[in-house]
Structure 1
Amino acid sequence: MSFYVSLNGLKNSQTDLGVIANNIANAETNGFKKSRTDFGDVVAATALTNPRMIQGVGSTVESITQVFELGPIEQTGSALDLAITGPGFFTTVNMETGKTYYTRNGSFTTDQVGNIQDGSGNVLQTYPVDANGTPTSNTPQDTQIPATNASGSEFASVSISTDGLVTASYADGSTLPLGSVALASFLTPEGLKKVGSSNWEVSGISGAANYGSPGYGQYGTLLSGSLERSNVDIAEELVGLITAQRNFQANAKAIDTATQISQTIINLRT
């Protein structure tokens, strides 16, 4: 039995190494959230087994848990680079598939028709606002910057306030409120499904998204001209890497020892 117990230990250590390697590989990925491997022991016993005689039969990977602690904030100077200073996710919708994604990576830009998007065709969602910048609906919509205003003046620049108001400025000095950034939250963010590019989708574990505005309730404010970097701590991951490597070596040594014992028994002479 010791062979299979140690074999499970090897597989678990390999999983742990893979998770740590992925964290290290994404140490420079904006908006990335690290993961950790959680293990549990495995016990085989019946109701009649003496509790003092129960022997464990190894361990198993219970979950690979995402850690959503805030990453460091880096100033970039670009008006469409956004960082959330607390809880919340940006919401984007893919223009081709219509799928909704959630992200902490606030690196946005504009496309040829003025959509504020992430470079992959996922458009930032905002609440519609009136001329005073007050939200008129709680249903998020695509954010698009008109090339000209009502008087025909050309677009000059865009700014985003700490409370999420997106405002376009035009050559004649006028401004036009375009929307208010909608932030999403989840009852269990650890249950969000990773889909790559620092994007997540809802799942049955995460629950449906709840929406709010930056700086209100549980949601953090926005920092324009900044990005949230990966929350991976390289020093911490390297220590974890060494520990996982030692665990792997120890389990391999246990298999080697069990092999030697079995060989000794087989070679016994009567």
Structure 2
Amino acid sequence: MAFTQGVSGLNAASSQLDTIGHNIANSQTVGFKKSRTEFADLYAGAKAGLGVQVSAITQAFSQGAMESTDRDLDLAIQGGGFFRLTDGQQVSYSRNGQFQMDSNGFLVNNTGGRLMGYPVDDPTSANPVVLAGAQPVALQVAQGDLDASATTSGSMTFNLDSTDTAKLNAAGDPIAFDATNPKSYNWQTSLTTYDSQGNAQQVNLYFVKSETPNTWDVHALNKGVEIVSGGGPKTLSFDPNGKITGDSNLALDLDPQNGANRINATIDLSSITQNSGSFVVKAAGQNGYAAGSLTGVSIADNGDVLGKYSNNQSRALGRVALAGFTNEQGLKPDGNNAWLATTDSGQELLGSAGTGQLGSLRSQTLENSNVDLAAELVTMIVAQRNYQANAQTIKTQDQILQTMVNLR
């Protein structure tokens, strides 16, 4: 019986050494999760026992260390969950976030598995909406250009100098506004807008202080033509504290005169002030842009796949979907740092990063292997001694048997 016990011990120790070797070999594999060999005793009715057996090889899904890479398509999961991948036939799961874009625009890992996620409602829209509740699909980056978008709204924040005076001639009468005559206005600034063909259209704004206290007239010109809706100018009024009152929207009606559609835009001036101090623009912006071509792809921390374009625009092209499992130990290792779902793991629990029990995403980051080399080497020494001890029991039993054979 001792031979059987010793052999079972050798087999168990050998299996443990195999597991340790596998862990050490993958200590630098991104997203790798270490395993351990678990044992159980054997009795089968024998009083002394029949030895040992390997009851399971379990995986430890503890978090690996994070490493910054500064590469746009590198992605790490901080917390629970797996990336969902497809090869066109089956779905697999991985913690390895080393992704790249193939020739067809799909985001793939180094074995060709396509990263899956939620699509957007309309990829051609200026403001696509991610369909977070839809069935995940392989994420693909459209290679086409981003069409131009005409300006429809904008905003400006600036201060009008309350100490400035109305522009009057020698007779004390207001000087008629003339864009070519700087003496006819107090201040001038500009805002770039875009027509439907993506052409930049410069809007020059001229501010004229009225003889009426706390009142200014604003003229908007493009190519020398007044473009304030209704013929202009627009009158702006301020309270004694320098805060704008009444209607603060500047409506523009601009004919590009190049075949493009007219620009009808509203510029929000609700944040401007009238205080003592210099004329200064603090912020300005509008929602139009020229056409642009794709220059790069990045992944935001919320999982949104963002296309970057040459016109300084970015668009959500989809969102990475994460999958969780009730029993991660039930996942079946499939090689290439991936797992397959089984009946033991339970159904996948899909969602966006940061929802439910799913972890958050960290872009330009990778999760290293969770193997602790020092701990594995110590465990290897113990397993080696265990192997030697079991071999010694076989040797001892052999000596006893030899003694019995030599009895006269």
- TM-score bracket, normalised by the shorter chain, equals over 0.9
Could you say which residue in structure 2 is the equivalent of 1:113? 104
- 1:138 Cα deviation from its structure 2 partner: 2.8
The answer on 1:160 being equivalent to 2:299 is yes
Q: Which residues of 2 match residues 185-224 of structure 1 at below 5 A?
A: 185-224=324-363
1:119-198 pair list within 5 angstroms: 119-130=110-121, 131-151=127-147, 153-198=292-337
Task: Indicate if the aligned counterparts of 1:128 and 1:137 stay in contact, CA closer than 8 A.
Answer: no
Which stretch of structure 1 is more off in the superposition, 122-131 or 259-268?
A: 122-131
Write the letter of the residue equivalent to 1:167.
L
Letter in 2 for 1:55: A
Superposition pairs for residues 236-255 of structure 1, below 5 Å? Answer: 236-255=375-394
Is the partner of 2:50 in helix, strand or coil?
strand
Q: Deviation of residue 41 (structure 1)?
A: 0.6
AA matched with 2:133: S
Residue identity matched to 1:149: D
Distance 1:138 1:258 in 2: 66
Aligned counterpart, 1:227: 366
- Superposed CA offset, 1:133-180 (max 9, x none): 443533101111111234263211222222111111111222221111
SS in 1 for 2:397: helix
Q: Which has the higher helix share?
A: 1
Q: Distance in 2 between matches of 1:98 and 1:155?
A: 30
Runs of 4+ in 1 over 6 A off after TM superposition: none
Counting aligned pairs with the same residue, the percent is 43
State the 1:110 CA deviation: 0.4
Per-residue CA distance 1:115-142 (angstroms, 9 max, x = gap): 1111322111111234354435331011
- Structure 2 runs not aligned, ≥5 long: 122-126, 148-290
2-side partners of 1:214 and 1:149: how far apart? 29
Q: How far apart are the structure 2 equivalents of 1:119 and 1:40?
A: 38
Q: Give the 3-state SS of the residue equivalent to 2:39 in structure 1.
A: strand
Question: What's the TM-score once normalised by structure 2's chain length?
Answer: 0.62
Q: Secondary structure at the match of 2:41?
A: strand
Is the 1:133–1:165 contact (alpha carbons within 8 Å) kept by the matching residues of 2? no
Count of matched residue positions in the alignment of Structure 1 and Structure 2: 260
- 1:19-38 correspondence to structure 2 within 5 Å: 19-38=19-38
**C-alpha spacing 1:136/1:63, structure 2 compared with 1 (3 Å):** closer
Cα distance in structure 2, aligned partners of 1:23 and 1:229: 13
Q: Distance in 2 between matches of 1:260 and 1:244?
A: 24
Name the counterpart of 2:209.
none
Distance 1:136 1:101 in 2: 20
Does structure 2 conserve the Cα–Cα contact (< 8 Å) formed by 1:27 and 1:230? yes
SS in 2 for 1:180: strand
Q: Which residue of 2 aligns with 1:260?
A: 399
Match of 2:179 in 1: none
Cα offset, 1:55, TM superposition: 1.8
Q: How does 1:49-60 map to 2 (within 5 A)?
A: 54-60=47-53
CA distance in 2, matches of 1:136, 1:163: 12
Aligned residue in 2 for 1:51 = none
2:367 and 2:34 map into 1 onto residues whose CA distance is: 13
User: Deviation digits for residues 102-125 of structure 1, max 9, x if unmatched?
Assistant: 000000000112111113221111
Amino acid corresponding to residue 137 of structure 2 in structure 1: Q
TM-score computed with the length of structure 1 as normaliser: 0.92
1:42-96 C-alpha deviation (Å, 9 max, x unpaired): 11328xxxxxxx32211100001011111111110011100000000000111xx
- Displacement of 1:266: 1.2
